[in-house]
């Protein structure tokens, strides 16, 4: 199996040279194989989200390389990158413009890539249905639907351009557990249907959830990778003290 | 709580209607004047208010009521143009600053600091003085010193919204800068900017009238409330109505727009509802 | 066992909307009751009612809340001061934001105590040091001399627990006390609250969506859904042998760590 995503020696420093300097990432490296699901766990400030935001270019790395599908990310234009990598955010409702219909939000990338209005509508409705929403939700506004439904729409939006990499940044953390279970089932369905065409990077502080859902796991602490490998292996027989402490803290 | 909301809504409708009436009134002011506001007749100069001339006549025997009515055009329209100009320019600069960050932001904001550091009217006076009088130059002068307020507001609103998840999600959908501004940023920040603009109408009307009063705005014989007052100030003791009439007109218009602005702010603020 | 606080058929409305209805339970001395439910189930509303913190439009429209056989409804503002704090303590989800950012923690804690009883600074210091000691805090001087933002979020939350315990209330009401925390700090906070119960015999009503936390802390568990009690019983029984379908569904949805194959 090939690596669809390789992160090599990423460093990220915020407020460089100032008193408030934070080394958010220190030599972070990990890789995601095609068709795999990689969990990233760690406490707040561990650098999980920063890694994701560097991959999606919402934050600039100070140093290091991201390789996507065998090509250095620096050689890929924004337009192309966002057809390959997509992200689902922690806050479902806030990730949609309150003044724009859900359907238009989901179809935004299609419209930006020159798909006609009528075809976009058709494809968006299909995506909504695939993500477990009735197609009438096209015309709803974000505040009219529940958080779980909004997150389904956000997943539909992320899938619109058939990305190869889907990053879920604490995508279920703000949801109730029963809703979380439904979203995980939806993601499992998406993985089953697309096989090695989709790889997921699943960022979460919920270790039990990561163990259930992911094949591999990366444990991060204070901007560094503590440990990485097979999810069950690491969570059941960790060799690192930090990981052991983290797992022992789960109630 | 619910009751309060209804009251705000009623107030909004009330003051909104008054403001619209004022605008309609000034549009049709030409047809509403009882006499020709520019016709001089020295034989009836400086007459006190009477049944024939409700607000009296000025020193050239022109009917004051007609002049106040026609004066609404210059006063209200120049104010609205002025407010529109500073709102648009300020918002554009503010959004540019908020989005670009770094050098562009620093430079533009320091420029706005310079304008904010001077007393506005004094600076406007200087600019209008250099440009020479006239209503157009007065508008330019006031616009030059008044945009920073809107730039600051638009900038802070843009900075706040720039970090939200939906802007980031839209970036990931490959949305370009222009579409981002017009579809995602502007609709979500325009509320407070419009409220500020409406609240500013009163202030700007006063400042415009002030410039005219000092002889740097509308030039006689054009009927404009500020210059009319300036024109008549030497007669304050002998013929007070000539000063009072445009003064009261300014007072009423400023009042209407200020109250409308206040109500609009209460209405836009969800906590106040 | 005699109940120190009890709810008797309580119904709470916001405006004309019923938020919770038919709520009856009791908590004895030193007991911990967990109230779990998903968002919108009305779990926070229940404890806010006891504190008189329902806010505008919120009213207890039926039943009664009794503290030591005394109704907590229709309490005058003046009596409230003698109840909230000395009798009922409260811990909020974001304790950090309930501290004033520009004054030192020690000063603010002193004010809390001072508002309720006449006490000198020296007495206060010995009292607070003793309390911090009992709860296992290290470098107590640093904490008291810090401004809120100089402490980590988890530490702020722990100080929030101290603030609530300063007046030695008989009942502690905790609204999602650990929800904003990382797991390692959450564990500390849970241990702290358990210590509070063991040392002072405080009864705790714990509202949370986190099943792991109630499992670690609560003696009894109440499952709430859409403002109704679905199930109530010993924590172990409810979590491991739920009798209602909804509870089963809820417990199944909670991901649990597998420690071995």
Instruction: Please say whether the beta carbons of B240 and B56 come within 8 A.
Output: no
**Model confidence pLDDT, tens digit, residues C6-50:** 999 999 999 888 999 999 999 999 999 999 998 889 999 999 999
Residues 83-102 of B with CB under 8 A from A: none
Q: Which residue among B164, B174, B183 sits closest to A82, beta carbon to beta carbon?
A: B174
Give the DSSP per-residue string, C21-33. EEEEEEEETT-EE
CATH number at residue C173: 3.40.50.300
Residue C195 CB partners (closer than 8 Å, separation 6+): C134, C135, C136
Q: Tell me the C-alpha distance between C108 and C117, whole Å.
A: 15
Other Cβ atoms closer than 10 A to C96 = 20
Q: C253 is written with which tokens?
A: 């949805």
Instruction: Please say whether the beta carbons of C43 and C36 come within 8 A.
Output: yes
Residues 87-106 of A with CB under 8 A from C: none
Q: How many pairs of residues across A and C have Cβ atoms under 8 Å apart?
A: 69
Are the beta carbons of A177 and C253 separated by less than 8 Å?
Answer: yes
pLDDT over 90 at C95, yes or no: no
Nearest CA to B147 among B217, B91, B79?
B91
Q: Does the CB of B188 have a partner CB in chain A at under 8 Å?
A: yes
Q: Which residue among A178, A179, A205 sits closest to C183, beta carbon to beta carbon?
A: A205
Q: C78 is written with which tokens?
A: 């003046």
Stretch A185-195: mean pLDDT: 94
| CA quadruple A48, A49, A55, A60: dihedral sign | negative
Paired strand residues for B224: none
Instruction: Please compute Rg for chain B using Cα positions.
Output: 22
Q: Which residue among B172, B174, B187 sits closest to A113, beta carbon to beta carbon?
A: B174
Determine the pLDDT at residue A234: 92
Q: Which residue among B165, B172, B187 sits closest to A94, beta carbon to beta carbon?
A: B165
Q: Which helix (H) or strand (E) holds C58?
A: strand C58-67
Q: C175 is written with which tokens?
A: 């609204």
Q: Tell me the C-alpha distance between C177 and C157, whole Å.
A: 8
Domain that holds residue C27: 3-97+169-219+227-247
Determine the pLDDT at residue C184: 84
Q: Does the CB of A22 have a partner CB in chain C at under 8 Å?
A: no
Q: Tell me the C-alpha distance between C113 and C105, whole Å.
A: 13
Burial B106-116, CB ≥16 within 10 A → b, else e: eebbeebeebe
Instruction: Please say whether the beta carbons of B129 and B216 come within 8 A.
Output: yes
What is the CA angle A28-A38-B162, rounded to 5?
65
**Model confidence pLDDT, tens digit, residues C240-249:** 999 999 999 9
Domain that holds residue A236: 3-249
Judged on CB neighbours under 10 Å (0-12, 13-18, 19+), B158 is buried
What's the whole-number average pLDDT of chain C?
Answer: 88
Q: Which residue among C182, C213, C258 sits closest to A44, beta carbon to beta carbon?
A: C182
Prior bond of B221 cis (ω within 30°) = yes
Q: Which of C183, C208, C244, C259 is best to mutate for the A interface (most A CBs within 10 A)?
A: C183
β-pairing, C58-67 with C17-28? unpaired
Q: Which residue among C39, C253, C257 sits closest to A235, beta carbon to beta carbon?
A: C257
DSSP state of A146: -
Q: How many pairs of residues across A and B have Cβ atoms under 8 Å apart?
A: 59
Are the beta carbons of A205 and C186 separated by less than 8 Å?
Answer: no
Chain A partners within 8 Å of B170 (Cβ): 97, 105, 108
Instruction: Please say whether the beta carbons of A222 and A42 come within 8 A.
Output: no
Q: Which of B101, B162, B169 is best to mutate for the A interface (most A CBs within 10 A)?
A: B169
Are the beta carbons of A108 and B170 separated by less than 8 Å?
Answer: yes
ipTM of the prediction: 0.90
Q: Does the CB of C64 have a partner CB in chain A at under 8 Å?
A: no
Q: Tokens 């206040």 label which residue?
A: B262
What is the least distance, in Å, from the CA of B81 to any CA of chain A?
Answer: 29
What is the least distance, in Å, from the CA of A42 to any CA of chain B?
Answer: 22
Nearest CA to C230 among C241, C245, C213, C218?
C245
Chains touching chain B, criterion 3+ CB pairs below 8 Å: A
Q: Which residue among A58, A98, A112 sits closest to B173, beta carbon to beta carbon?
A: A112
Chains touching chain A, criterion 3+ CB pairs below 8 Å: B, C
Are the beta carbons of C249 and A178 separated by less than 8 Å?
Answer: yes
Q: Which long-range contacts (CB under 8 A, 24 or more apart) does A234-239 make?
A: A235/A207, A235/A210, A235/A211, A235/C257, A235/C258, A235/C259, A236/C258, A236/C259, A236/C260, A236/C261
β-pairing, C32-36 with A199-203? unpaired
| CA quadruple A222, A224, A230, A233: dihedral sign | negative
Q: Tell me the C-alpha distance between C196 and B260, whole Å.
A: 56
Nearest CA to C73 among C94, C52, C54?
C52
Q: C136 is written with which tokens?
A: 């296992």
Q: Tell me the C-alpha distance between A51 and A42, whole Å.
A: 12
Determine the pLDDT at residue B168: 93
Determine the pLDDT at residue C168: 87
In a domain, residue C119? The reply is: no
| CA quadruple C62, C65, C69, C70: dihedral sign | negative
CATH superfamily entry for domain B64-261: MetI-like (1.10.3720.10)
Q: Which residue among C186, C254, C261 sits closest to A177, beta carbon to beta carbon?
A: C254
Instruction: Please say whether the beta carbons of C43 and C37 come within 8 A.
Output: yes
Q: What is the pLDDT along chain B (273 residues), one digit of tens a residue?
A: 445 556 778 888 899 999 999 888 888 888 888 888 887 878 877 777 887 777 888 777 788 888 888 888 888 888 999 999 999 999 999 999 999 878 899 999 999 998 888 888 888 888 888 988 788 889 999 999 999 999 999 999 999 999 899 999 999 999 989 999 999 999 999 888 988 998 888 888 888 888 888 888 777 777 888 888 887 878 888 888 888 888 888 899 989 999 998 888 887 765 543
Paired strand residues for C14: C17, C58
Q: Tokens 């003044």 label which residue?
A: A99
Chain centre distance of CA C112: 18
β-pairing, C203-208 with C171-175? parallel
pLDDT band at A104 (very low <50, low <70, confident <90, very high): very high
Chain A partners within 8 Å of B169 (Cβ): 87, 89, 95-96, 105, 154, 157
Q: Which helix (H) or strand (E) holds B3?
A: helix B2-27
CATH number at residue A51: 3.40.50.300
Q: B155 is written with which tokens?
A: 């900038």
Chain A partners within 8 Å of B102 (Cβ): none
Are the beta carbons of B165 and A97 separated by less than 8 Å?
Answer: no
For chain C, the domain total comes to 1
In a domain, residue C253? The reply is: no
Paired strand residues for A6: A31, A67
Q: Residue B192, CB half-sphere, CA atoms under 13 Å: how many? A: 16
In a domain, residue C131? The reply is: no
Nearest CA to A24 among A4, A3, A42?
A42
In a domain, residue C184? The reply is: yes
Q: Tell me the C-alpha distance between B128 and B216, whole Å.
A: 6
Q: B244 is written with which tokens?
A: 């009072």
The ranges assigned to domains in chain B are 64-261
Chains touching chain C, criterion 3+ CB pairs below 8 Å: A
Q: Does the CB of C249 have a partner CB in chain A at under 8 Å?
A: yes
């Amino acid at each position: 199996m090939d690596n669809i995503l390789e992160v090599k020696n990423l460093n990220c420093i915020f407020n460089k040279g100032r008193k408030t300097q934070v080394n958010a990432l220190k030599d972070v490296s990990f890789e995601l194989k095609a068709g795999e699901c990689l969990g990233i766990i760690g406490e707040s400030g561990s650098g999980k989200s920063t890694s994701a935001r560097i991959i999606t270019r919402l934050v600039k790395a100070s140093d290091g390389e991201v390789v996507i599908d065998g090509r250095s990310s620096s050689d890929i234009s924004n337009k192309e990158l966002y057809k390959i990598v997509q992200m689902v955010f922690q806050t479902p409702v806030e990730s949609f413009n309150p003044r724009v219909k859900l359907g238009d939000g989901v179809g935004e990338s299609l419209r930006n890539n020159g798909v006609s209005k009528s075809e976009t509508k058709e494809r968006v409705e299909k995506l909504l249905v695939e993500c477990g929403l009735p197609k009438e939700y096209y015309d709803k506004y974000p505040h009219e639907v529940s958080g779980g439904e909004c997150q389904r729409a956000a997943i539909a939006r992320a899938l619109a351009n058939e990305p190869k990499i889907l990053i879920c940044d604490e995508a279920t953390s703000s949801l109730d557990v029963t809703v979380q279970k439904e979203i995980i089932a939806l993601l499992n369905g998406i993985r089953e249907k697309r096989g090695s065409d989709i790889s997921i990077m699943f960022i979460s502080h919920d270790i039990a959830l990561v163990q259930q859902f992911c094949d591999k796991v990366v444990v991060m602490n204070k901007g560094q990778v503590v440990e990485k490998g097979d999810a069950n292996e690491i969570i059941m027989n960790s060799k690192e003290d930090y990981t052991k402490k983290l797992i022992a803290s789960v109630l | 709580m619910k009751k309060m909301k209804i009251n705000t809504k009623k107030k909004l409708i009330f003051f909104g209607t008054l403001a619209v009436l004022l605008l309609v009134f000034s549009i049709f002011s030409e047809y509403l004047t009882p006499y020709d506001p520019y016709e001089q007749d020295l034989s009836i100069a400086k007459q006190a208010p009477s049944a024939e001339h409700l607000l009296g006549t000025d020193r050239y025997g022109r009917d004051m009521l007609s002049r106040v009515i026609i004066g609404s055009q210059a006063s209200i329209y120049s104010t609205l143009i002025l407010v529109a100009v500073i709102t648009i320019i300020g918002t554009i600069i503010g959004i540019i600053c908020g989005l670009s960050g770094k050098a562009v932001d620093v430079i533009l904001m320091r420029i706005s600091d310079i304008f904010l550091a001077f007393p506005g009217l004094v600076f406007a006076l200087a600019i209008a003085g250099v440009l020479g009088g006239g209503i157009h130059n007065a508008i330019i002068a006031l616009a030059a010193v008044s945009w920073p307020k809107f730039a600051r507001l638009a900038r802070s609103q843009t900075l706040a919204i720039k970090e939200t998840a939906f802007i980031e999600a839209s970036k990931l959908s490959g949305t370009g800068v222009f579409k981002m501004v017009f579809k995602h940023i502007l609709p979500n920040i325009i509320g407070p900017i419009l409220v500020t603009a409406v609240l500013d109408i009163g202030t700007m009307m006063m400042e415009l009238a002030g410039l005219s009063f000092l002889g740097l705005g509308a030039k006689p014989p054009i009927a404009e409330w500020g210059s009319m007052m300036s024109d008549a100030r030497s007669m304050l003791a002998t013929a007070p109505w000539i000063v009072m009439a445009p003064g009261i007109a300014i007072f009423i218009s400023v009042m209407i727009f200020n109250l409308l602005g206040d109500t609009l702010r209460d209405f836009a603020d969800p906590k106040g509802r | 066992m005699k109940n120190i606080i009890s709810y008797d058929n309580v119904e709470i409305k916001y405006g004309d909307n019923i938020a919770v209805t038919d709520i009856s339970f009791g908590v004895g001395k030193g007991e911990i009751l967990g109230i779990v439910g998903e968002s919108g189930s009305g779990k926070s509303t229940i404890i806010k009612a006891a504190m008189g913190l329902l806010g505008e439009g919120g009213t207890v429209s039926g039943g009664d809340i009794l503290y030591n056989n005394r109704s907590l409804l229709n309490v005058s503002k003046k009596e409230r001061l003698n109840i909230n704090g000395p009798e009922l303590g409260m811990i909020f989800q974001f304790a950090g934001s309930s501290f004033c950012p520009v004054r030192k923690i020690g000063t603010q804690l002193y004010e809390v105590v001072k508002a309720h009883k006449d006490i000198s600074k020296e007495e206060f210091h010995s009292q607070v040091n003793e309390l911090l000691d009992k709860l296992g805090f290290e470098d107590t001087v640093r904490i008291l001399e810090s401004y809120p933002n100089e402490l980590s979020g988890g530490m702020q939350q722990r100080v929030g627990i101290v603030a609530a315990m300063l007046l030695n209330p008989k009942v502690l009401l905790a609204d999602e006390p650990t929800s904003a925390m990382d797991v390692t700090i959450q564990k500390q906070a849970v241990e702290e609250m358990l210590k509070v119960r063991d040392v002072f015999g405080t009864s705790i009503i714990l509202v949370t969506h986190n099943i792991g936390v109630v499992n670690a802390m609560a003696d009894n568990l109440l499952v709430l859904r859409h403002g109704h009690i679905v199930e109530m019983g010993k924590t172990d029984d409810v979590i491991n042998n739920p009798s209602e379908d909804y509870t089963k569904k809820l417990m199944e949805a909670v991901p649990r760590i597998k420690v071995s194959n």
